[in-house]
Amino acid sequence: MNKSARPIDAIDLASLPLFVGTMVWEYQVLKKRELREFGDLDDATEEELSDPRLPPDPLVPVGYERRDTQASLSMLVGNVAVNLALAGAVGALGKFVFRHRIVNLGATRWSLPVAMVAWDFLYYWDHRWMHEVRLFWANHVSHHSSERYNLSTALRQPWSGFLTAWVFLPMPLLGIPAHHVAKAGQLNLLYQYWIHTEAIDRLPKPIEAVFNTPSHHRVHHGANAQYLDKNYAGILIIWDKLFGTFEPEVRRIKYGLTKNIHTFNPFRIGYHEFADIARDVRSARGFRNKLGYVFRGPGWQPATLATSPTAA
């Protein structure tokens, strides 16, 4: 989930009481259910987390925790502040590209549906690249930093989304009007809110086959080996099925990062990976290795370091 920079409108304002109401509803629902003990999978073996021979695990929620929820809401406040500060610059860039469009879809009755599908397709690649390029991951990692999974996790938004704003420029380049580009991004983001929940189990198969659902997105937030870098979809899960990144929910999910940061400080949540990149770049030998720490995948190391006994 990632929010593009744009001004706040009436839908955003109406969504605030919706967020509060649904989080209260979810909290009450989960209170009545059997909850997992927090950290119950910390000592699980890779086989226990990934064994495909076992029948599917039942959904047992982790639930809410006050400090975790406060951290997520703090991240949302920072995200909104950054987006408001950058809305003018991002909007001007989109208008500049639109003026130099190569085709003109125009403001027809079909341009918003086309914009919705186009945004969803580009969002898949935006999201995928945020997992595959460390600089972009440094922004997105904050959204994955919670070891819980509930509607407040959806609001744990990053503060550097401008790093991949360029991914959506093909839309104005093809003549999709700026207001429809912005609306498509807004509706895509709002759709993704409700899928951040353990209060909803698997949905009927026809829905699961086409749309991103809580079950599919729980997988995306998993640190289990078979769940890493899977299910990037925004609205339509068909992109993952087309491009080979789909994984169904089978084993119980260990939420969070492969190496959790264990903090509720929003500034550390938002910027810890940028600080780690700077540290690695300073210590790297050679310009190519310095670039590798920025633009290769998360966890990348120079060949000589990766094969050393110390690194192993």
pLDDT at 68: 98
What does the pLDDT average to over 78-96? 92
Higher pLDDT, 292 or 8: 292
3-state DSSP of the chain: CCCCCCCCCHHHHHHHHHHHHHHHHHHHHHHCCCCCCCCCCCCCCHHHHHCCCCCCCCCCCCCCCHHHHHHHHHHHHHHHHHHHHHHHHHHHHHHHHHHCCCCCCCCCCCHHHHHHHHHHHHHHHHHHHHHHCHHHHHHHHHHHCCCCCCHHHHCCCCCCHHHHHHHHCHHHHCCCCHHHHHHHHHHHHHHHHHCCCCCCCCCCHHHHHHECCHHHHHHHCECCHHHCCCCCCCCECHHHHHHCCCCCCCCCCCECCCCCCCCCCHHHHHHHHHHHHHHHHHHCCCHHHHHHHHHCCCCCCCHHHHCCCCCC
Residue ranges per structural domain of the chain? 10-300
pLDDT at 1: 56
Q: What's the whole-number average pLDDT of the chain?
A: 93
pLDDT at 110: 84
Predicted confidence (pLDDT) per residue in 271-281, tens digit: 999 999 999 99
Band the pLDDT of 304: cuts 50, 70, 90.
confident
Predicted confidence (pLDDT) per residue in 105-114, tens digit: 776 778 899 9
- Tell me the percentage of the chain whose pLDDT exceeds 70: 95
